[in-house]
Structure 1
Amino acid sequence: MNQLTFLGTGDAMGVPRVYCSCAVCEEARQTGANRRLRSSVLVEGDHESFLIDCGPDWRQQMENMGMRHIDTILVTHAHFDHIAGLPEWTDACRWQGRRGRMYAPQEVIDVILRQFPWLPGHLDLLPADGGVRLAGWDIQGWRVNHGKNGYSYAYRMTKDGFTWAYCSDSIGLNEAEKQPLNGLDMLVLGTSFYHEEAEYSGRSVYDMLEAQELLAEIKPKRTLFTHMSHDVDVNRAYPLPEATTLARTGTKVSLAHRDS
């Protein structure tokens, strides 16, 4: 089964914010519809699976899925909310006597090793710059603008004629950065706010209004928004383009054409 599961759909701080009593954070505490762990997904296919990103909520996400081990993780960039779970994963590999495989572009690996130099004791850190094949998916990554936070990587994945992309942390993509997002059956895109009013020069992720302009250009057949802050209420009916939805924790999506 080729399937995508959202283990987390939150931005860097998650929801609820510990300091916040806004309506979304209070709803997250009471009923949980808006409770969001840091963004990560599980990709399944060919009797294998891999995660994209390994943030500080990795352990809870694994427990929520009833998973005791994951062999392979693909990393988008070396920010805390995307790599802080790597030491826990490494420790799990150590106790279970298994070597994990972490894939990322070499420049991302270099940054990770400066923060966690002991990881190679139990992980193979493998460059993904030339493309990789995981669980039957042919994966190509490319650098994307992450605004004031520098850069991230997005990944385009193809298998059995189905093509989708994961782009969790980006803003203001130029034409070269947009090009691999054309011709998609599905796009997973980070949108931290519906409309972010902060000064643009200090921002790092698309808001939903800007994302709609991007979607009008690249025309994916389906889009799911992730990496959402406490500005976003999943119970609210936002005016979004057709075939565009907000991902929730546990959302499962088929990664195949309906007739396949």
Structure 2
Amino acid sequence: MGVPRVYCSCDVCEEARAEGKNRRFRSLAQLTDDSFGTMLIDCGPDWRSGMEAFGLRDVDTLLITHAHFDHIGGLPEYADLCRWLGRRGKAYAKQEVIEEILVRFPWLRNQIDFLPIGDKLTFGVWETICWRVNHGKNGYAYAFRFTHAASGRSFAYCSDAIALQGEELEPLRDLDVLILGTSFYEEPFAFETRSVYDVKEGLQLIERLRPGRTIFTHMSHDIDLTRDYGLPPGTAFARTGMSITL
């Protein structure tokens, strides 16, 4: 839901209003590389605010992880951008995700080309794979792994997942950077009602996967960025506008 939540007066939401360390949009990653331009992973309802805040006027490509509103709510505004710029947008997603998006927003096909993802994609000098991950009570989502064709450096974006097992985990091994969704520090609700790792579970997962660096995203107002949680070296919470380089 982003932070602050309109209805909430908890310490984290009040700090977000007053100082802004905890102010955060719905999860989205901007990827920029000379070989493919500017790409966004997901396009949630804070898309316009994020574009304005960081001086972006256009993007070349979108990747969509799944069709939940917090990941696609900005698509109508992206379509409006394409209309006014006189060009067609380009969004990649799995076929069933495209179908779900177009059930909700059928007019988007007037401005955006939705391109179904097969086994592999290539964006410039990056080879990309996309695979289904367990999203708990909320069904499933997809994650993306990018590998540089020359250097072999790699990163993965897995924002909405929980209790991954077997083949779901394999693309998350041998990463330079893992971006992982963790909504709570320690989520108190029954497991069968949950849909995203909490931080404690995320730390256990990276003990197994041992990526070079981990960034936790998709955080609720349970996470207070003014606190020191004692995260291990190479592990950090995402911050609005945070930039990293591979």
State the TM-score, normalizing by the size of structure 2. Answer: 0.97
Matched, 1:38 2:34: no
Partner of 1:81: 70
Q: Residues 138-191 of structure 1, C-alpha deviation per residue, up to 9 Å, x if partnerless?
A: 110000000000000000101132101000000000121111100101100000
237-246 or 225-234, larger mean C-alpha shift: 237-246
Could you say what secondary structure the match of 1:228 adopts? Answer: coil
Could you say what secondary structure the match of 2:29 adopts? Answer: strand
Partner of 2:112: 123
Structure number with higher relative contact order (C-alpha < 8 Å, ≥ 6 residues apart): 1
**In 1, distance between residues paired with 2:30 and 2:124?**
11
Partner of 1:143: 132
Q: How far did 1:135 drift? A: 4.2
Could you say what secondary structure the match of 1:156 adopts? Answer: strand
**One-letter identity of the residue aligned with 1:133:** T
Partner of 2:5: 17
Q: How far did 1:239 drift? A: 2.4
Q: Specify which of 12, 15, 40 is matched with residue 27 of structure 1.
A: 15
Q: Residues 59-78 of structure 1, C-alpha deviation per residue, up to 9 Å, x if partnerless?
A: 11110111111121100000
Q: Residues 11-58 of structure 1, C-alpha deviation per residue, up to 9 Å, x if partnerless?
A: xx1100111111000000000000011000110112511000000011
Q: Specify which of 236, 240, 243 is matched with residue 231 of structure 2.
A: 240
Aligned CA-pair RMSD: 0.9
Instruction: Please identify runs of 4+ aligned residues in structure 1 that moved more than 4 A.
Output: none
Could you say what secondary structure the match of 1:164 adopts? Answer: strand
**In 2, distance between residues paired with 1:67 and 1:212?**
33
Partner of 1:185: 176
Structure 1 gaps of 5+ residues are 1-12, 256-260
After TM superposition, list the pairs within 5 Å mapping 1:1-260 onto structure 2.
13-46=1-34, 48-159=37-148, 160-255=151-246
Partner of 1:6: none
**In 2, distance between residues paired with 1:214 and 1:111?**
30
**In 1, distance between residues paired with 2:180 and 2:123?**
21
**In 1, distance between residues paired with 2:125 and 2:28?**
19
Structure 2 gaps of 5+ residues are none
Contact 1:104-1:129 within 8 A present in 2 as well: no
**In 2, distance between residues paired with 1:242 and 1:175?**
27
**In 2, distance between residues paired with 1:157 and 1:137?**
6
Give the share of equivalent positions with the same residue, in percent: 57
Q: How far did 1:228 drift? A: 0.3
State the TM-score, normalizing by the size of structure 1. Answer: 0.91
